[in-house]
Amino acid sequence: MLDIQNIRNDFPILGREVYGRPLVYLDNAATTQKPRCVVDVMTEEYLNVNANVHRGVHYLSQQATDLMEAARETVRRFINARSTTEIVFTRGTTESINLVASSFGQAFLSEGDEIIITEMEHHSNIVPWQLLQSRIPVKLRVCPITDEGILDTSALPGLFNSRTRLVAVTAVSNVLGTANPIKEIIAAAHAHNVPVLVDAAQAAPHQAIDVQALDCDFLAFSGHKVYGPTGIGVLYGKEALLEQMPPYMGGGEMIGKVSFEHTTWNVLPYKFEAGTPDYVAVTGLARALEYVNAIGMPAIQAYEHDLTQYALEQLRQIPDMRIFGHSRQGASPVEAGEGCGIGSSVISFLVGNIHHLDMGTLLDRLGIAVRTGHHCAEPLMHRLGIEGTVRASFALYNTREEVDALVAGIRRVATMF
């Protein structure tokens, strides 16, 4: 059982007020708040260890390098990668996917090849492939969703053919909260000798990830969605694939030797880490993952599932409430991960004809922070036949009392229209 009040004390921002009201922060799918320990470890490094990493012979540089490589090992353990050579630090999920689109695309794709994505993807798993299309005329094939917001896996086999080169799929929808059957999708793709990239931005904060058990070929997630700093993320890639891919960017650190005639590349993972990395944010990310592990992902998962179910029950009692996704009620997060179901603490909704922006703005005046709009998933909004939604998303520090405040706030706003 989580000691929620003790956990909340680790996040100073949760004690502040907005417009004279206690902050109710329900925008965690966009970014999570940071525990004091993450801020403290970053401050400590800036004040006492700050020096550029790798290649430096002096003490501070070596100490900073040790911290960065220790953090890489922490990430490796967090997703159970085989080796730290498979852990590449990026600026976030978006850059990780762009890296794969650019480097994997250059190495393995040619005109007429195809990439399978889904109808529920974030723009970050759509636009990089479209940018690739401007360089290599490849085709995107889209796996549809059902009217209930579940991936139509029955359509997946028909999307594969001899030109399929990659499947790129979100583990959990940032709009619907739907957890996709990733292991099943990977097995289907591998049966066609097709690698799979998993967008785990919305999965990493809420469920344990084991890349070896999944057998995914690439996996990406962002630090700021797992209680870590912004501007830091992870790309996991199987070593054999990363070895065959050219560098994403050129410059310092990613080189072996440079002459005006020829340049060779550094070994993995540094081949993909050009320039001075945000080594302090790397340390902050590692501390955030340690914080999550200390609480325990199973306990977090169970608590958030219970909180989301409570929120769904309360929200459904509001007249004219429309909730998008969450068609399989009662499924545990673990069950959802094996099939299709609720996999994250995200609830997207509309109330009657109230515009999502109006609802979000008025809730904000009540101290309740939610997200409004298309959530960087415009094609999904078109499929749902709407312009946008209000999205409430929960984290391990949210409470039933905050859910009650959200429900009361929605009811109050509804009386104004």
Q: How confident is the model over 247-259, as pLDDT tens digits? A: 999 888 887 888 8
- The pLDDT, as a whole number, for residue 343 is 57
One fold for both 4-35+296-414 and 40-291? no
pLDDT computed for residue 253 by the predictor: 83
Banded model confidence at residue 331, pLDDT cuts 50, 70, 90? very low
Name the fold adopted by 40-291.
Aspartate Aminotransferase; domain 2 (3.40.640)
Count helices and strands (H / E) in the chain. Answer: 14, 19
Q: Lowest mean pLDDT of 81-95, 128-142, 165-179, 263-277, name the range.
A: 263-277
Q: Lowest-pLDDT range, 9-18, 51-60, 75-84?
A: 51-60
Coil, helix or strand at residue 327:
coil
Residue 387: is its pLDDT beyond 50? yes
Tokens of 277: 């990395």
Provide mean pLDDT across the span 94-110: 98
Taking residues 41-57, report their average pLDDT.
95
The answer, yes or no, to whether residue 267 has pLDDT greater than 60, is yes
237: Cα separation from own chain's centroid? 16
Active-site residue numbers?
Answer: 376
Strand segments (E) across 120-212: 139-143, 164-170, 178-179, 196-199
pLDDT in tens, 335-373: 333 333 445 799 999 999 999 999 999 999 999 999 999
Asked whether the predicted pLDDT for residue 41 surpasses 70, the reply is yes
Residue 329 pLDDT:
36
Residue 225, phi-psi category: left (phi > 0), alpha (psi -120 to 50), beta (remainder): alpha
Residue entry with tokens 């996999």: 343
User: What b/e sequence results for 263-292 when a residue is b if at least 16 CB atoms lie within 10 Å of its CB, and e otherwise?
Assistant: eeebebbbbbbbeebbbbbbbbbbbbbbbb
User: What are the sequence ranges of the domains in the chain?
Assistant: 4-35+296-414, 40-291
Q: State yes or no: cis peptide before 269, omega within 30 of 0.
A: yes
Q: Look up the CATH architecture of domain 4-35+296-414.
A: Alpha-Beta Complex (3.90)
Least confident of 31-40, 52-61, 328-337: 328-337
The three-point CA angle 371-321-317 to 5° equals 115
pLDDT at 330 over 80: no
pLDDT reported for residue 337: 37
| Sequence-distant contacts of 67-70: CB under 8 A, at least 24 apart | 67/279, 67/282, 67/283, 68/277, 68/279, 68/282, 68/283, 70/286
pLDDT tens per residue across span 183-237: 999 999 999 999 999 999 999 999 999 999 999 999 999 999 999 999 999 999 9
Mean per-residue pLDDT, 139-163? 97
Q: What would the two tokens of residue 411 be?
A: 């009811």
- % of the chain residues with pLDDT over 90: 90
Mean pLDDT of 99-121: 98
Q: DSSP letter string over 148-165?
A: TS-B-GGGSGGG--TTEE
Supply the DSSP string of 377-413, one letter for each residue. -HHHHHHHT-S-EEEEE--TT--HHHHHHHHHHHHHH
Q: What is the mean pLDDT of residues 60-68?
A: 97
Task: Encode pLDDT of 3-40 as tens digits.
Answer: 999 999 999 999 999 999 999 999 999 999 999 999 99
- 288 vs 73: CA distance, rounded Å: 14
According to the model, what pLDDT value does residue 327 have? Answer: 53
